[in-house]
């Protein structure tokens, strides 16, 4: 009889493991089916018109002070670049 105890206990353990995995797979499959059904209902029953946020260009507020400062900065950089070009021209004429 003792020679049957090992195989029988192994079969019981294997059966328990098989049952556990089978039950886990079944429950997860049912949960996925419910989730997919709920998502499909939400997708098909949503209204066609969804209020979207305004575009980014409409949300940008222009500050007049910063615009004036940027224009002044750009003008000063343009004067500086023109001065370097003039120095380069004079250096080429001189030497």
Q: What is the rounded distance in angstroms from the CA atom of residue 80 to the CA atom of residue 66? A: 21
Mean pLDDT of 2-20: 88
11 and 39 both lie in a single domain: yes
> pLDDT band at 1, cuts 50/70/90?
low
Q: For position 50, what pLDDT does the model report? A: 75
Query: pLDDT tens across 40-73, in order?
Result: 998 888 777 778 888 988 888 888 998 899 999 9
Residue 54 lies in a domain: no
- Percentage of the chain beyond pLDDT 90 is 49
Q: For position 81, what pLDDT does the model report? A: 94
Q: How many domains does the chain have?
A: 2
Residue 18 lies in a domain: yes
Residue 80 lies in a domain: yes
Sign of the dihedral through C-alpha 71, 72, 76, 79: positive
Residue 95 confidence (pLDDT) above 90: no
Give the structural domain span for 91. Answer: 63-95
4 and 35 both lie in a single domain: yes
């Amino acid at each position: 009889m003792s020679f049957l105890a090992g195989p029988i206990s192994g079969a019981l353990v294997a059966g328990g493991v098989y049952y556990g995995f089978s039950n886990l797979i079944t429950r997860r499959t049912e949960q996925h089916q419910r989730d997919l059904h709920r998502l499909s209902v939400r997708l098909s029953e949503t209204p066609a018109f969804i209020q979207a946020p305004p575009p980014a260009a409409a949300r940008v507020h222009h500050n007049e002070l910063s615009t004036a400062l940027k224009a002044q900065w750009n003008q000063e950089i343009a004067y500086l670049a023109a001065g370097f070009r003039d120095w380069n021209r004079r250096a080429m004429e001189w030497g």
